């Protein structure tokens, strides 16, 4: 039975890897999700036949946990709005880190002798030095990912909008990290539960405190980083449980999350350290446009004429499109323009929206073909030869101060070269700043005009105006 279990775990891990590979391309992403889901089903079912699983009560706990978790995930996943998808991802990701930390807690409490006094040994002697070390590291990373993800969820969901809790919080966080590391070493030689309890309390608090100061504009990077943390914690606890599926799956998720975090931080020209210690979008990072110009507003009818007679139009979606659920209307507008021999492309910045791939998911939901969606590096050179750039809801990722203003917290971040198009139209709900709190210089440029209103409503008006122009 042991050999069959290990073989099944290996098959599950292979499905995880193949599924992740399929998810790297939009055309095969759905298939990848199915494969990875099949791997999870295999790993879960095989666990019921694990020879190390003892006691009828354990089976009851597993069934109840799967029932509650499965029902909640199915119901919320089926009904969640696309605008709420980032916070749901953050929340679910945090649950993975919390689960890994819970596994570590069970193993460490048992090994401490508190629950089994007859052991009479400390954690390291009972588990072995390497297993004890990985259990403690997995607990630490899992706790940070759990509470940190909860803060990310609260910020994305608008339930918490604060930055630092008190002056000098960053220094306090460093001291708290040192304390958590010290308590972790104490757990290594623990013969009672108290050092373990203190260690978990400190690690959970650290996750909260290091995430609270992070600016809202940095949340996509934070979500990706905590995803990597969760994978790493699962891999460590897989080693503790001698579970090959957890080791492989956790390693793959941790590696993928780390790579994605690196790519996103590079897209913002920022380091992960800078994300946590100099948050863009926090109160202290706000700025204003250095200009004496005023914003110009136009009506959808004014925009329609230029769209109709353009040779090429590039549409730049952002979070505002998600809020308005305007992706379907925008795609309808694009199809209408293509019938008039206008070339239409969609430009996606790596950190547009509130999570990695947010805009890609929205456009795919609307039915936009993948060959019309371009990443920043692929399309940036095209803006100079574009008649109309239509921005809907994007802000920080098209702000020219990232190139010109060394005092701006956005300085150095690669942006979409929207300002280089001949005409720029920005669909915007109001005159407010973006998620970073930095005023957008693009809105004051001579070639830029704003169309105020809800994204879906303005898109519908543009469609009607284009049809009238045709008539």
CA distance 356 to 222: 10
Two structure tokens written together for 180: 């958590």
CA distance 450 to 217: 22
CA distance 338 to 171: 56
CA angle in degrees (0–180, nearest 5) for 168-169-173: 125
| Residues whose CB is less than 8 angstroms from the CB of residue 375 and which lie 6 or more positions away in sequence, other chains included | 348, 350
- H helices of 339-421, in order, are 358-366, 376-379, 401-404
Q: In what order do the strands lie in the sheet with 343-348?
A: 373-375, 343-348, 312-317, 388-392, 423-428, 448-452
- From 292, 396, 405, 419, active-site residue: 396
| Residues whose CB is less than 8 angstroms from the CB of residue 40 and which lie 6 or more positions away in sequence, other chains included | 12, 16
CA distance 375 to 94: 28
Name the 3-class secondary structure at 389: strand
Q: Which residue in the block uniquely carries the two structure tokens 């169309």? A: 451
Residue 23 has, within 13 A of its CA and on its CB side, a CA count of 18
Two structure tokens written together for 171: 């220094």
CA distance 44 to 375: 37
Indicate if 218 belongs to the active site: no
Q: Which residues are catalytic?
A: 396
């Amino acid at each position: 039975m042991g050999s069959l279990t290990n073989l099944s775990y290996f098959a599950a891990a292979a499905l995880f890897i193949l599924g992740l590979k399929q998810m790297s391309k939009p055309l095969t992403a759905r298939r990848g999700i199915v494969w990875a889901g099949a791997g999870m089903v295999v790993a879960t079912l095989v666990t019921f036949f694990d020879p190390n699983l003892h006691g009828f009560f354990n089976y009851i706990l597993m069934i109840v946990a799967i029932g509650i978790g499965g029902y909640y995930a199915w119901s919320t996943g089926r009904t969640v709005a696309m605008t709420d998808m980032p916070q749901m991802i953050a929340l679910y990701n945090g649950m993975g880190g919390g689960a890994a930390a819970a596994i570590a807690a069970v193993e460490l409490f048992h090994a401490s002798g508190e629950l089994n006094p007859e052991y009479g040994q400390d954690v390291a002697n009972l588990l072995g030095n390497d297993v004890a070390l990985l259990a403690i590291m997995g607990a630490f990373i899992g706790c940070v990912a759990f509470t940190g993800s909860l803060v990310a969820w609260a910020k994305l969901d608008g339930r918490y909008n604060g930055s630092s809790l008190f002056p000098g919080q960053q220094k306090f966080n460093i001291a708290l990290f040192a304390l958590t590391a010290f308590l972790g070493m104490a757990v290594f030689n623990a013969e009672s539960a108290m050092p373990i309890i203190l260690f978990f309390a400190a690690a959970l608090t650290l996750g909260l405190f290091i995430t609270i100061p992070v600016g809202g504009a940095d949340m996509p990077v934070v979500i990706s980083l905590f995803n990597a943390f969760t994978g790493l914690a699962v891999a460590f606890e897989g080693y503790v449980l001698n579970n090959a599926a957890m080791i492989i799956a956790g390693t793959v998720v941790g590696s993928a999350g780390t790579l994605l975090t690196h790519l996103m931080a590079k897209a913002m020209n920022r380091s992960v350290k800078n994300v946590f210690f100099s948050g863009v979008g926090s109160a202290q990072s706000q700025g204003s446009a250095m200009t004496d110009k005023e914003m110009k507003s136009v009506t959808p009818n004014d925009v329609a004429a230029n769209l109709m007679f353009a040779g090429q139009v590039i549409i730049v979606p952002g979070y505002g499109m998600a809020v308005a659920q305007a992706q379907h209307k925008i795609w309808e507008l694009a199809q209408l323009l293509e019938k008039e021999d206008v070339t239409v492309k969609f430009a996606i910045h790596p950190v547009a929206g509130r999570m990695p791939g947010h805009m890609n998911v929205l456009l795919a939901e609307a039915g936009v073909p993948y060959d019309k969606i371009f990443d920043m590096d692929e399309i940036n050179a095209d803006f100079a030869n574009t008649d109309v750039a239509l921005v809907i809801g994007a802000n920080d990722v098209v702000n020219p101060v990232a190139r010109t203003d060394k005092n701006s917290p956005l300085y150095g971040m690669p942006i979409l070269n929207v300002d280089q198009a001949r005409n720029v139209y920005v669909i915007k709900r109001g005159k407010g700043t973006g998620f970073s709190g930095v005023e957008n210089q693009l809105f004051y440029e001579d070639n830029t005009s704003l169309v105020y209103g809800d994204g879906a409503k303005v898109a519908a008006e543009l469609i009607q105006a284009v049809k009238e122009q045709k008539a």
